[in-house]
């Protein structure tokens, strides 16, 4: 991971960006941007880690330069390789967000305990657990979990969520349960994408994940975070527990460049790929091979159904690709 340092001699900021990446000087505008976004600034001859998303943002905004020259967007020699330098963190359990309509607060957070593996449930049984809870959450009875589909209601928390087993007399952490990263309270915020199999349930995307963008995400941030989304942003509900939720969409009447969308996700260390369309062969094939390939007689019409995403995002190219090969028959 890159390091943001302050020189002992003259006090200027610079970044050590990793092996073979050189030393990047931070301009006055760069330091001002870091302070405005509540990024920790090191003292003289000290350093703090700087994530790849923040580094990319500084670079694209030309707030840093190297070897006495301003950074050029065309230069490839000193590019900070996000994929190589990305600090992989434990992803833990899925953190889900559910909207509550007109009620206040307008949203709630949940940990999906159904993702816990067998070892965790065995540990729960060995503890004779009455209820389960997590950091910054109320306990829920084990039997009640089946009625909530394994969801544990938690409150916004900037530190890792830890799972605990509770009895009438004690509360102990589950050693087999993974810690789940807490909410990101800096300028990058927290990105939630709607689950395809659960309409109305949105799952947080963490560092290093990949999303299929279909024109809409939710963004949970501190109220002083600056909106940098290239499309439309609409607040959802009022400020709740020190957090504000935004619905970020692409205006279908405006041309938003795909590059701008990719950069927004890149600054949050999330890889975004274009939306996909599901294809289904409707016509019954003559046969199906053992490896799942359909065999259709030459000259026979084939009907194919295409299921596009619910929303179409402008600026994203749309392409349908099919492949087939003809297999010859050998005469005896």
Give the end of a domain, one of 42, 65, 85: 85
**Structural domain includes residue 59:** yes
**Structural domain includes residue 211:** no
Give the end of a domain, one of 54, 85, 116: 85
The whole-number pLDDT of residue 254 equals 64
Residues 51 and 116 placed together within one structural domain of the fold: no
Q: Widest CA span of the chain, in angstroms? A: 88
The whole-number pLDDT of residue 73 equals 42
The segments of the chain whose pLDDT lies below 70 read: 18-21, 67-90, 251-254, 274-278, 307-332
Cis before 113 (ω within 30):
no
Q: Angle, nearest 10°, between helix axes 258-266 and 52-60? A: 140
Residue-number span of the structural domain to which 114 is assigned: 95-173
**Structural domain includes residue 77:** yes
pTM: 0.70
The whole-number pLDDT of residue 157 equals 93
The whole-number pLDDT of residue 317 equals 46
Domains identified in the chain, total number: 2
């Amino acid at each position: 991971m890159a390091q943001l340092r302050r020189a002992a001699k003259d006090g200027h900021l610079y970044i050590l960006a990793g092996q073979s990446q050189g030393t990047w000087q931070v301009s006055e505008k760069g330091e001002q941007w870091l302070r405005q976004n509540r990024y920790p600034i090191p003292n003289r001859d000290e350093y703090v880690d700087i994530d790849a998303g923040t580094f990319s943002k500084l670079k694209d905004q030309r707030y840093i330069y190297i070897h006495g020259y301003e950074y050029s967007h065309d230069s490839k020699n000193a590019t900070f390789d996000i994929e190589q330098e990305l600090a992989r963190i434990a992803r833990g359990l899925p953190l889900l967000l559910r909207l509550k309509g007109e009620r206040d607060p307008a949203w709630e957070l949940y940990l999906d305990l159904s993702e816990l593996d067998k070892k965790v449930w065995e540990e729960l049984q060995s503890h004779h657990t009455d209820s389960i809870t997590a950091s910054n959450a109320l306990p829920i009875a084990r039997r009640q979990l089946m009625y909530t589909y394994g969801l544990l209601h938690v409150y916004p928390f900037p530190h890792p969520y830890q799972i605990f087993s509770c009895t009438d007399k004690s509360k102990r952490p589950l050693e087999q349960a993974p810690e789940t990263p807490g909410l990101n309270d800096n300028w990058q915020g927290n990105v939630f994408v709607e689950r395809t199999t659960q309409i109305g349930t949105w799952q947080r995307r963490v560092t290093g994940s990949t999303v299929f963008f279909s024109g809409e995400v939710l963004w949970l941030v501190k109220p002083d975070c600056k909106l940098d989304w290239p499309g439309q942003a609409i607040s959802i509900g009022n400020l709740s527990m020190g957090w504000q939720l935004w619905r970020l969409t692409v205006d279908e009447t405006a041309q938003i460049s795909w590059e701008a969308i990719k950069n927004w996700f890149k600054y949050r260390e999330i890889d975004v790929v274009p939306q996909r369309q599901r294809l289904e062969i409707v016509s019954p094939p003559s046969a199906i091979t053992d490896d799942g390939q359909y065999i259709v007689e030459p000259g026979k019409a084939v009907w194919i159904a295409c299921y596009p995403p619910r929303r179409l995002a402008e600026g994203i190219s749309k392409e349908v690709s099919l492949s087939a090969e003809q297999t010859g028959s050998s005469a005896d």
